[in-house]
Amino acid sequence: MVTTTAAAKPSQDSSLLEPVLSVRHLTTEFETRAGLFTAVKDISFDVARGECLGIVGESGSGKSVAALSIMGLVDYPGKVTAGQILFDGTDIRTLNGRELRKLRGSQLSIIFQDPQTSLNPLFTIGRQMIDVVRAHRRCSLPEARDLAIAKLNLVGMSAPETRLRAYPWELSGGLRQRVAIAMALLLDPLLIIADEPTTALDVSIQAQIVSLLRTLKVELGFSLIFISHDLGVISSIADRVLVMYAGRAVEQHAVPSIFTVPGHPYTSALLASAPTLQSDRTLPLRVIEGGLPQMQDRLSGCVFAPRCGYVQERCLRAEPPFVPLSNTSNHEVACYYPLVDAHASDGKGER
């Protein structure tokens, strides 16, 4: 699978091996009246070409702030205070506003949760799509229009020519999300970040959108960061999953192993607390007692320690580093006492 964009690069082979996105020690903080709030703390991850990285976490875990940081969209009172965000070899943090705007919407695009609010209700779909094209590319109006029609076709919109004249509010939630995906695809991006793109949709429509993104990713070869709180949705699209908790990355591993042999107690508890159609109805669901740490709680050790069932004295003293289970493992866990050893988790997911 060779992407068109990657093929245009001079050094083909090496650029294919390099990750599209490499985030290192990203920290994003917000100034609040109560002091500095660290929304994302020291997270590192890569996204390979054509890969889908799932980011899963509950509200307040920092997954959306991480996405906005990558897009360079964090505004005052928030600020990316440390780390590197290497996108296709360039550190996004070093770019100025003009350079960022050039990147966003062309090589790097984002799909938000609610297309009702991300699309402008005052303009037609066509106008908004054509504007995006013409902001990045010198082309005539008919050319831009043709491109918009082509992308609407790609996302399975019937009668795209007529749809161009529609306003966002004339479309259903599912169709609006298809428009948002078509807009993200307009300039053949290398990476698309989808932040809870199916959360506002009904299950049958959710399944359609997930399946569409999965197919497009294979056909067009872009990379995808898919953010969701829904473990089921994540498992149906991601190749690899990063689990976030209270602004930290706590675990990262391939699908399906992360679901079958979770290493971090939080991941394990999260999996057990989500009801599925297989859940044993006679047993109570496992709960994670307590709630997220409040910003005033200055914790010295592991952020999950107050809610962890396996907590030891060491966990309260210092924060565990986010490291691979072993030298050869691609399974990273931020825990002193992971629930699996490196050998078990490198298997094909058998329990």
> Please, what is the minimum distance in Å from the beta carbon of residue 126 to another protein?
21
> Please, what is the minimum distance in Å from the beta carbon of residue 273 to another protein?
4
Give Rg (Cα) of the chain: 21
Site string for another protein, 161-180 (x = CB under 8 A): -----------x-xx-----
Instruction: Assess contact for 43 and 81: CB atoms under 8 A.
Output: no
List, edge to edge, every strand of the sheet that includes 21-32: 35-47, 21-32, 78-87, 90-91
Among 278, 296, 300, 327, which residue sits at the site for another protein (rule: CB under 8 A)?
A: 278
- Of 27-35, 68-76, 84-92, 204-212, the window that binds another protein (rule: CB under 8 A) is 204-212
Site string for another protein, 212-231 (x = CB under 8 A): --x--------------xxx
Site membership for another protein, residue 259 (CB under 8 A): yes
Residue ranges in 55-94 that form contacts with another protein under rule CB under 8 A: 58-59
Beta strands in 121-259 (DSSP E): 191-195, 223-228, 240-245, 248-254
> Please, what is the minimum distance in Å from the beta carbon of residue 142 to another protein?
31
Instruction: Assess contact for 78 and 266: CB atoms under 8 A.
Output: no
Listing DSSP states for 261-287 in one string gives: S--SHHHHHHHHHS--TTS-TTSPPP-
Which lies closer to another protein via its Cβ, residue 205 or residue 339? 205
- Rounded Cα gap, residues 183 and 133, in angstroms: 9
Q: Please report, as a single letter, which amino acid is at residue 328.
A: T
Binding site for another protein (CB under 8 A): 58-59, 172, 174-175, 202-208, 210-211, 214, 229-237, 255-256, 259, 269-271, 273-279, 281, 284-288, 291-292, 348-349
